[in-house]
């Protein structure tokens, strides 16, 4: 069975990741897995320090450095176990009956790639442990995860708020049309009002595309609102979201048309940086 996998670490985002993971698990009726990855670059399981010691250094120094490295790794392992236990308890209090915890060594991106075939939704914080304290800085591995994964990704802020409405950035491309169909067939946003926004010129083509999207979602039982607005993609989306007080933004990751140009490269990071609420990326 496909699962909701929530990635937790020692960052300020971890509690929100737990809560969004529990929310999504309950909405999707899918098993919830909390994943903690001990990055091999920060906490190596074993190290050979002999090549880093200059000529004439004492053997005792080698032994002390090796012992320190081992102790750091053990402490990181124990810290991860404590975090996973806390996440488990938090999810159970939220109503998830049987959440599961997993702790792995290695690279986060590589581990997620291995688990992708079991994944229904990935929940991950906008900032990771290594980017703590940088209020506008996006987690160093997040963009790599977004580029690699081919499953929906829910990027969370540092505080949880159960979504009450959603804004779908829609440009009529195959990617965003597929996203609309995914939302229509998923219980994740059921009973939430959906706003569709196209950023571009209002013409027969964009009107037809908007009518199609509204029809698909309305047929699935959603209350749907649609709008077409001219302007810069990023600022127009943020302005609409603020105007309508929408707490969840939905976008196609690496789509086409203006959205594709908008998301590729450094602008992806800019959107992640400037979005204050939860961001659901559909692939």
Write down which residue in 129, 156, 183 finishes a domain: 156
pLDDT class of 274 with cuts at 50, 70, 90: confident
Neighbours of 234 (CB within 10 A): 16
5 compared with 276, residue with greater pLDDT: 5
Please give the Cα distance from 242 to 247 (Å, whole number). 9
Write down which residue in 137, 156, 175 finishes a domain: 156
Taking each helix axis as running N to C, give the angle between helix 174-184 and helix 204-219, from 0 to 180 degrees, rounded to the nearest 10: 20
Please give the Cα distance from 148 to 213 (Å, whole number). 27
- Long-range contact set of residues 68-76: C-beta below 8 Å, sequence gap at least 24: 69/44, 70/46, 72/43, 73/38, 73/43, 73/44, 73/45, 76/38, 76/42, 76/43
Do 11 and 150 fall into the same domain? yes
62 compared with 54, residue with greater pLDDT: 62
Do 101 and 132 fall into the same domain? yes
pLDDT class of 269 with cuts at 50, 70, 90: low
Please give the Cα distance from 57 to 150 (Å, whole number). 50
Segment among 31-40, 68-77, 99-108, 232-241 with least mean pLDDT: 68-77
Do 262 and 132 fall into the same domain? no
For residue 267, pLDDT over 90 is answered with no
138 compared with 239, residue with greater pLDDT: 239
| Coil vs helix vs strand at 283 | coil
How many C-alpha atoms does 203 have within 13 Å on its Cβ side? Answer: 5
Contact 54, 123 (CB under 8 A): no
Task: Quote the radius of gyration of the chain (alpha carbons, Å).
Answer: 21
Q: Per the domain annotation, does 35 fall within a domain?
A: yes
Structure tokens at 190: 């059921």
Contact 153, 122 (CB under 8 A): yes
Do 218 and 105 fall into the same domain? no
Helices (H), 192-232: 204-219
Task: Specify the CATH number for the domain of residue 219.
Answer: 3.40.50.620
pLDDT class of 233 with cuts at 50, 70, 90: confident
Taking each helix axis as running N to C, give the angle between helix 266-274 and helix 233-244, from 0 to 180 degrees, rounded to the nearest 10: 20
- Looking at the DSSP bridge assignments, the partners of residue 199 are 229
Write down which residue in 156, 185, 218 finishes a domain: 156
Q: Per the domain annotation, does 83 fall within a domain?
A: yes
pLDDT class of 231 with cuts at 50, 70, 90: very high
Question: What pLDDT does residue 146 have?
Answer: 85
Question: How many domains would you assign to the chain?
Answer: 2
What is the domain range of residue 28? 3-42+75-156
Do 150 and 180 fall into the same domain? no
Do 133 and 182 fall into the same domain? no
């Amino acid at each position: 069975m496909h699962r909701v996998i929530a990635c937790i670490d020692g960052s300020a985002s971890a509690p929100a990741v737990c809560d969004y993971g529990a929310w999504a698990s309950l909405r999707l009726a899918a098993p919830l897995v909390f994943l903690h990855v001990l990055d091999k670059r920060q906490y190596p399981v074993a190290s050979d320090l002999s090549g880093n010691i200059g000529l004439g250094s004492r053997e005792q120094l080698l032994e002390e450095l090796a012992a320190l490295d081992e102790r750091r790794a053990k402490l990181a392992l124990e810290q991860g176990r404590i975090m996973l236990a806390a996440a488990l308890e938090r999810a159970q209090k939220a109503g998830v009956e049987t959440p599961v915890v997993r702790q792995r060594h290695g690279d986060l991106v590589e581990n997620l790639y291995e688990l992708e075939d079991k994944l229904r939704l990935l929940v991950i914080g906008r900032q990771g442990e290594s980017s703590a304290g940088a209020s506008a800085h996006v987690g160093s591995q997040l963009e790599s995860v977004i580029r690699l994964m081919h499953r929906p990704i829910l990027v969370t802020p540092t505080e949880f708020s159960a979504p009450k409405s959603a804004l779908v950035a829609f440009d009529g491309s195959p990617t965003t049309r597929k996203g609309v169909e995914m939302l229509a067939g998923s219980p994740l946003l059921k009973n939430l009002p959906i706003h569709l926004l196209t950023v571009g010129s209002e013409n027969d083509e964009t009107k037809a595309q908007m009518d199609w999207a509204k029809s698909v979602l309305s047929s699935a039982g959603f209350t749907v609102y649609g709008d077409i607005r001219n302007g810069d993609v990023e600022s127009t989306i943020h302005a609409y979201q603020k105007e309508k007080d929408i707490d969840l933004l939905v976008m196609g990751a690496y789509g086409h048309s203006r959205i594709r140009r908008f998301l590729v490269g450094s602008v992806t990071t800019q959107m992640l940086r400037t979005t204050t609420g939860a961001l659901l990326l559909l692939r």
